[in-house]
Structure 1
Amino acid sequence: MPAANPLDGFTVDRTRIRTVGRDLQRPECILAEPDGTLWCADARGGVTRIAADGSQRFIGQRADERFAAGAGGTAEALEAKLTTGTLPNGLAFAANGDILISNFGTDLLEIMTRDGQTRTLYDRIDGQPIGKVNFVLRDSRQRIWLTVSTRVNPWTAAAASRVCDGYIAVIDERGIRVVADGFYFTNEVRLDAKEEWLYIVETTGPHITRMRLDESRADGVRLTDREVFGPSHLGGSPDGIAFDSFGNLWCTLIMVDQLIALTPEGDKRLLLDDGDPAASRNLREKTAAGTLTAEDMQRARGTIAPWMASLTFGGPDLRTVYLGSLLGTTIPCFRSPVPGLPMVHWQTAS
């Protein structure tokens, strides 16, 4: 008989939600370390480090003069981009502890030391501008997975009209290459526990897709067997995902501000609904009709993590869930009945 799912009967108790951090700006993505330290993206152009004791420090990006002629051009050119348009979005730890940044503002994949020195890793692919970089993930083989939501400029046009030009790139010892494309606004990606499947958020899908990793080829990993995982319409726009140790895939639905989970069988569970019912209904109806406006989106938000965008598991037992958001100024958190699946940096921490 299969083991009972630890999410059976579970919903988030709103009275037990607490918050971490203060005066944050667009804490879209959060990284948790085993010692209790949190790192979150910050719209001021960098990251905020929150120590286990609650103290916090903003670390702003600055061009690393040691790499004046890197992949992104001169240090002066990078400094200009960082000054005028940086918007850190997805974060991941590099193998040496530096922070990989998918910069939604500068359209660059960057790497930043923990004191802020930043250089560009990639700004082009196949000779073309890389596009609207969204999320970055490192796997156990030290490959970097990068999602690009769209090449349409402005990106808001792609989001509003369901343009299907998002793609996934992988970076390994051979460099950077596209491994899958034709996605509806590619967002976060995660690997399952065995790293056999890559799960892909298609925000305007609105659904989760998964693809199998084919490691058999001499020219590097490929993605195959594409399929929708779970419902073809999730009832809102998925943004962030994370696995727990049982195999449930937790997922945020931005603007309707719901937290859901997809069981290993693909069944949807509603864990938290913080959306405004009328505004969420209006959002769904106008999205389906293609008449959604910025005003409609602004009205659709919750109060816990407004425009709920991501989640990560942390705490000494990986049972604390932290929620990232686009409009929040703190990081809400609560206890989970099941630990999260340890990320690569957690597994390799000394």
Structure 2
Amino acid sequence: MLSFDDLGFLGSGLRRPECVACTAAGAIWVSHALPEGGGGVARLLPDGSLQPLLARAGMPGDFMPNGWSMAPDGSFLIANLGESGGAWRLLPDGACEPVLTEVDGLRLPSVNFVHRAEDGVLWISVSTWRAPRDRAFHRDVADGFVIRMPDPADPASARIVADGLGYANEVKVDPSGTWLYANETMARRVSRWKLTERGLGPRETVADYLDGVFPDGFEFDAEGGIWCASVMSNRVVRVAPDGSQSVVLEDCDPAEVETAMAHWRDGTFDRTYMNLGAARRLRNVASITFGGPDLKTAYLGSLAGDSLVTFRSPVAGAKPPHWHF
């Protein structure tokens, strides 16, 4: 397991750097919220300074950038975690426009993640219909869902293709293009569905996570593994192709983690426990991605940090769909 001596910290002045993406050209982009509301993304320059791209017009008043994907035209497809919800496109000039604000005739609530797959299809995860979303911080609440949007320019093409999820979080198509994977934070598992011509096959459990793991973001590696970032316990866990799990990194108090698990089991878990990791050095890690020329530099996003955590991985990451953008 890695120690703090193995870690680096990149950048400063970031706010809620929840989601990170890297490209082959060396670009590092990260979510960047503003304290007064709004925000967008920021590019981290080699010296660690920020080059923000903020939404300046067209966005809802409670716009809060969460999980996002890059598009080939240089825009960003962003999930709005604010209660007005929806998926939005942030253009290079700062203009913001809606991508999807309703599905099946229902207005979308807070949206967690937008994933643009290799074929251009958008996969959008919504953690819960409940507002505020904290009301879904219970193991017996399972109303999260995933939307498939085959034509990003046509909201009418969007359909809910998976539901009944225990707080749906990041969702991604695997490198083979065969499976859709999703982390379910409150169900504490990673699930997958086989892609079919009509949408998705039945849900399969890839792994029930170790005690103390509340999964948020994840990424694939070149050997078929899944790297998961766990809020609360500040853990990075690798799920091997055979489903076995190993803790790569953690920053938590074991007693606090066990207390949180007890509250999860008896249905009294709430944001107090979810935020335990924010007071520690890794600041509630929320996502992981791989970059660098060999795709062996890992970058961790977080909910409460002001920089990215980095370390060298023994395994290269898989090339993401945006790698050559």
Fold match, TM over 0.5? yes
One-letter identity of the residue aligned with 2:159: R
1:183-332 mapped onto 2 (5 Å cutoff):
183-215=165-197, 221-231=198-208, 235-301=212-278, 303-332=280-309
- Structure 2 unmatched ranges of 5 or more: none
For the 8 Å contact 2:168–2:183, the answer to whether it is kept is yes
TM-score using structure 1 length: 0.86
Alignment of 1:29 onto 2:19:
yes
| Count of residue pairs brought into register by the alignment | 316
Alignment partners' CA distance in 1, 2:235 and 2:149: 33
The Cα shift of 1:88 comes to 0.2
- Structure 1 unmatched ranges of 5 or more: 1-10, 64-74, 216-220
Structure 1, 169-178 or 331-340: larger mean CA deviation: 169-178
Alignment partners' CA distance in 2, 1:291 and 1:171: 35
Counterpart among 44, 48, 70 of residue 54 in structure 1:
48
Alignment partners' CA distance in 2, 1:48 and 1:232: 32
Alignment partners' CA distance in 1, 2:226 and 2:194: 16
What SS is found at the alignment partner of 2:112?
strand
Correspondence for 1:67: none
Alignment partners' CA distance in 1, 2:274 and 2:209: 22
Superposed structure 1 runs of 4+ greater than 4 Å apart: none
Q: 1:21 to 1:335 in 2, by over 3 A?
A: same
For the 8 Å contact 2:174–2:180, the answer to whether it is kept is yes
The sequence identity of aligned pairs, in percent, is: 34
One-letter identity of the residue aligned with 1:59: L
Q: 1:279 to 1:232 in 2, by over 3 A?
A: closer
Alignment partners' CA distance in 1, 2:30 and 2:140: 28
The superposition leaves residues 31-90 of structure 1 with CA deviations (integer Å, 9 ceiling, x where unpaired) of 112222211111212112112343312222122xxxxxxxxxxx4xx4xx2xx3111000
For the 8 Å contact 1:26–1:329, the answer to whether it is kept is yes
Alignment of 1:112 onto 2:90:
yes
The Cα shift of 1:201 comes to 0.6
TM-score using structure 2 length: 0.92
Alignment of 1:16 onto 2:10:
no
Alignment of 1:181 onto 2:158:
no
Give the greater-gyration-radius structure (CA): 1
The Cα shift of 1:234 comes to 5.2
**For the aligned residues, what is the CA RMSD?**
1.7
The Cα shift of 1:298 comes to 3.5
Alignment partners' CA distance in 2, 1:295 and 1:288: 15
